[in-house]
Amino acid sequence: MKLNYLTKGLSTVKRWMTTTLFCLLAIAFVWQGAFFSNTSAMADPTVNLIASADAGDQVQEKASKDAGRAKNFIDDTADKVKQTANKNANKVDQATDNNGSFVERKAKRDAARIEKRANEDASRTKEAVDKTKNAVERTVDSIKDAFNN
């Protein structure tokens, strides 16, 4: 019986020692993190403001560049739609031997309508791109103003 109490006592002591060691290690890791952290940002907050201003400028520059690319893509797409409409109208002309039939006139009207719609859609889409770019730039300016005040 005495051996049973002894092993039970040792087991309890082992558990307490393990728990204590674990707690000490946890405290040491937390302590180390507190002393070895980068405190230069706390000492000079203007460094962060300069970095955020640079990031804001980069965001605005990227927004302008992407808006330009999007507009070019929109123009290219509109041009391809118009080319396809004209190509289809020409195929109808060739199939009907340019005899001025109803189908030929309809194909030409459709091509003109498609070109008109392509231009309208491209212009609306470019306006939406400009509005989005302006919203991004206004937001970045607002954030920069909030950091500067």
Same-domain status, 60 and 117 = yes
Same-domain status, 50 and 28 = no
Same-domain status, 64 and 8 = no
pLDDT digit string, tens, across residues 89-105: 888 887 777 777 888 88
Same-domain status, 24 and 50 = no
Same-domain status, 107 and 136 = yes
Nearest to 95 by CA among 104, 108, 87, 84: 104
Same-domain status, 25 and 84 = no
Same-domain status, 28 and 89 = no
pLDDT for the residue 104: 84
Instruction: State the residue for tokens 């290219």.
Output: 76
Q: Does any domain span residue 138? A: yes
Nearest to 120 by CA among 132, 112, 130: 112
Number of domain units in the chain: 2
Same-domain status, 16 and 80 = no
pLDDT digit string, tens, across residues 3-62: 566 666 667 777 777 777 776 777 766 666 655 555 555 555 554 545 555 677 787 788
Q: Where are the alpha helices (DSSP H) in 36-45?
A: 40-43
CB distance 107 to 84 below 8 Å: no
Domain assignment of residue 55, given as a range: 46-149
pLDDT for the residue 30: 65
Q: Which two tokens stand for residue 2?
A: 């005495």
46/147 Cα distance (integer angstroms): 10
Q: Does any domain span residue 41? A: no
Those residues whose C-beta lies under 8 Å from the C-beta of residue 143, and which sit 6 or more positions away, are 52, 56
